[in-house]
Amino acid sequence: MAKVAAFRRARSVRLAWRLPEAPVPIVFPSTAETPLVSIIIPAFNQWQYTNGCLRALAEVHDAGIPSEVIVVDDASTDGTAELLARCGGIRVVRLDGNRGFGAACNAGAAAARGTYLHFLNNDAFVAAGWLRPLLETFASDERVGAVVSQLRYPNGSLADAGGVIWRDGQGSNYGRGNSPGDWRYRSARDVDYGSAASLMVRAAAFTVAGGFAPEFAPAYYEDTDLCFTLRKNGYRIVYQPRSIVHHAEGASYGSNLRVEARAIQERSRARFAAKWHDALRDHFDPDPDRIERAARRLMGTRTVVVVDEHVPFTDRDAGSRRTFFLIELLRKRGWHVIFGSIDRNDYEPYAGALRDAGTEVICGFGAGAVGALKRLDVAIDAAWLSRQGVAERVLPAFRRHFDAKIAFDTVDLHYVRLRREQEISGKRTGWQSMRQRELLSARNADVTVTTGAPEREQLRAEGITGVYEIPVIEPAPSGAPPGWESRQGIVFLGNYAHAPNVDAAQWLWAAIMPLVWERLPGAHLTLAGADPTRTVRALAGPNVTVTGYVADAGELLAHARVFAAPIRFGAGMKGKIVYALAHGIPVVTTPIGAEGIFDAAGYDAIDASPERLAARIVHLHEDSALWNALSTAGRSIAERFAPSAVERRLDDVLNAL
């Protein structure tokens, strides 16, 4: 009762900005002749709400999406018909008698021309950017049959973040009354059903399903029944939180909501429960305390929490890129993935890419987040902790609070990298202390993961058992790479917040390129990548460009003739080298750069000497036959790191967990 009263107060405060004091007709841009989306609005009386709904649509109209607006007048008696006739750019379907919600929607669908049908209550008010995320969700998977918006009350609190249906057919609006900014409601996910207050359906799938079933007339459970039918037909029902619609829930029904509507709702529930008795066996018994688990019923059979320093910057560092694709593979294998970042920043579009794919994201993962996971009432089966700092920080908490198996993903062995850096630079790096810390994390985990065989063997030599290898993951680009003739120059790519990349850029500029320029005076060097340090920026000159962050590294590589990566210290597999190989550009690198990537057959562009590295760069500039041979060989090598090639290795780790 308290929630109902609070909602009424909120509606009186905020609806004024949506409902005009003196309702006026709305003029839309011209209806598209071949609409992609047909927006269907059933209306019975309550013109002020229909008017507000149309006004919101007109205010945020996306001209880039061909659409039509169809208002179905369900025999209104309050002048709605006359006022609709004065609106421009909409289509009106007038019913000769009041038939109820489902029949009105079916009449609108019969008149629609769009590939997608969007059913929108006349007491729902769309927010800017509401439409495109729905279409993007359909485009992501042909199995998506319906997509539901995030519904909010006019005061901004959540009305529904995807519906839950209990075993007896009762429904619950997940998240009702809570903040839409809560991490639990910000990820796309498969749901039991989507409210037709704002529900988009594939028109073809809607037709095959038979539309809204007449047995639920005059109202309630039509949308739930439709979603169950779509799922029976092999489709997914997906909640998309980036599509935001404010809903004055029940406002258009009339003044008898609390008596008449509840009676109708109960009759429809009983019919629904009888019709879908077998399907409902897989649902939870009605229990508000289990709403979190029930809301995630379709997200996966097992749950893994993946924790890293920050959300995966797929275009900025190789470790992040690997983490992103690991998460994709975990989801493909039926795991419900919760990602936690130690960093509190909700970086976009990176966090959004995870959420859109169905991964839940918690930024600022720490003691509070562990408590939130406990309250979630979801069994945590495994934790995947990436990098030493993360393992040190959260592994003990997982041991205390969850009966979960733990994988420590080294990404690279920090102590090996620091030891090599000390050998090169002579400065103290504290690698011995790091060695003790990493070995402790490995011993405390159930399994340890490295990116390559050399580090796997290093840990085994240290007495660590249960060590597995998950290499860099790099999908193959589409199409053939440009040929030797259309390319010029040398490129190096790396994130300069990482010390080995700064050293490699400086060594390339100071020790290798002068030898190249003796033979190729006009050869241009491009030092690309995020966060160039002051010392790297200082390398820019007539034949050297320092780009900073590059949005499309593949396009950059497509124009260069040689990828030079003279890495003198580091550890783990170098993602930049696999990325370059996959894009068909020959790579000149050192044994440390090549570590774990090239097989015994060899790749004739690997050396530690500046003179020989320079000679290989020159040779590849002058010899198209050699260039073509290494380009082809590199793409073949990169196939070993495609997601499909890594799946078996991941299965080995999951089986061990």
Pairing of strands 91-94, 67-73: parallel
Q: What is the pLDDT of residues 579-633, one digit of tens each?
A: 999 999 999 999 999 999 986 556 777 888 999 999 999 999 999 999 999 999 9
Measured from the Cβ of residue 27, the count of other Cβ atoms closer than 10 Å reads: 12
Q: Which amino acid is at 32?
A: A
Mean pLDDT (the chain, rounded): 91
**Which helix (H) or strand (E) is 124 found in, with range?**
strand 124-126
pLDDT over 90 at 371, yes or no: no
Task: Name residue 305's beta-bridge partners.
Answer: 338, 383
The pLDDT value recorded for residue 8 is 32
> Do 609 and 487 touch, CB atoms closer than 8 A?
no
The pLDDT value recorded for residue 177 is 95
Q: At what angle do helices 499-507 and 414-425 cross, to 10 degrees?
A: 40
| Alpha-carbon gap, residue 339 to 103, rounded angstroms | 43
The SS3 call for residue 432 is: helix
The pLDDT value recorded for residue 261 is 79
pLDDT over 50 at 382, yes or no: yes
Q: What is the pLDDT of residues 421-459, one digit of tens each?
A: 999 999 999 999 999 999 999 999 999 999 999 999 999
The pLDDT value recorded for residue 19 is 55
Tell me the backbone φ, ψ of residue 367, rounded to 5 degrees: -60, -40
* Angle (nearest 5°) at CA 264 between 259 and 267: 130
Q: Which amino acid is at 207?
A: T
pLDDT over 50 at 196, yes or no: yes
pLDDT more than 90, % of the chain: 83
**Which helix (H) or strand (E) is 621 found in, with range?**
helix 610-622
Cα dihedral value 336, 340, 346, 352, nearest 10: -20
Q: What is the pLDDT of residues 109-136, one digit of tens each?
A: 999 999 999 999 999 999 999 999 999 9
Q: Which residues of 287-325 are buried (b: 16+ CB within 10 A; e: fewer)?
A: eeeebebbbbbbbbebbbbbbbbbbbbbbbbbbbbbbbb
pLDDT over 70 at 20, yes or no: no
The pLDDT value recorded for residue 262 is 84
| Alpha-carbon gap, residue 39 to 52, rounded angstroms | 15
Query: Both tokens of residue 198?
Result: 């704002």
pLDDT band at 10; cut points 50, 70, 90: very low
Query: Both tokens of residue 586?
Result: 């020959």
The pLDDT value recorded for residue 369 is 79
The pLDDT value recorded for residue 3 is 30
**Residue 120's closest CA among 187, 46, 69?**
69
Q: What is the pLDDT of residues 134-182, one digit of tens each?
A: 999 999 999 999 999 999 999 999 999 999 999 999 999 999 999 999 9
Query: Both tokens of residue 163?
Result: 């519906």
Query: Both tokens of residue 120?
Result: 């929108």
Query: Both tokens of residue 210?
Result: 């038979």
> Do 487 and 481 touch, CB atoms closer than 8 A?
no
> Do 501 and 575 touch, CB atoms closer than 8 A?
no
Cα dihedral value 512, 513, 516, 520, nearest 10: 180
Q: What is the pLDDT of residues 26-49, one digit of tens each?
A: 888 767 789 999 999 999 999 999
The pLDDT value recorded for residue 256 is 46
pLDDT band at 4; cut points 50, 70, 90: very low
Query: Both tokens of residue 74?
Result: 């369900």
> Do 456 and 573 touch, CB atoms closer than 8 A?
no
Greatest C-alpha distance within the chain: 90
| Alpha-carbon gap, residue 186 to 476, rounded angstroms | 30
pLDDT over 60 at 257, yes or no: no
Query: Both tokens of residue 369?
Result: 């987040």
| Alpha-carbon gap, residue 565 to 492, rounded angstroms | 6
**Residue 164's closest CA among 101, 217, 219, 239?**
239
pLDDT over 70 at 23, yes or no: no
Query: Using CB atoms within 10 A of its CB, is residue 10 exposed (0-12), middle (13-18) or buried (19+)?
Result: middle
Taking phi over 0 as left and psi of -120 to 50 as alpha, with beta for the rest, 620 belongs to alpha
**Residue 537's closest CA among 547, 525, 550?**
547
| Alpha-carbon gap, residue 70 to 47, rounded angstroms | 15
Measured CA to CA in angstroms, residue 363 lies from 299, 344, 347, 389 at distances of: 20, 5, 9, 16
| Alpha-carbon gap, residue 594 to 573, rounded angstroms | 8
Q: What is the pLDDT of residues 339-363, one digit of tens each?
A: 999 999 989 999 999 999 999 999 9
- Map out the domains of the chain with their CATH numbers: 2-295 (3.90.550.10), 302-469 (3.40.50.2000), 484-641 (3.40.50.2000)
pLDDT band at 12; cut points 50, 70, 90: very low
Task: Name residue 39's beta-bridge partners.
Answer: 69, 118
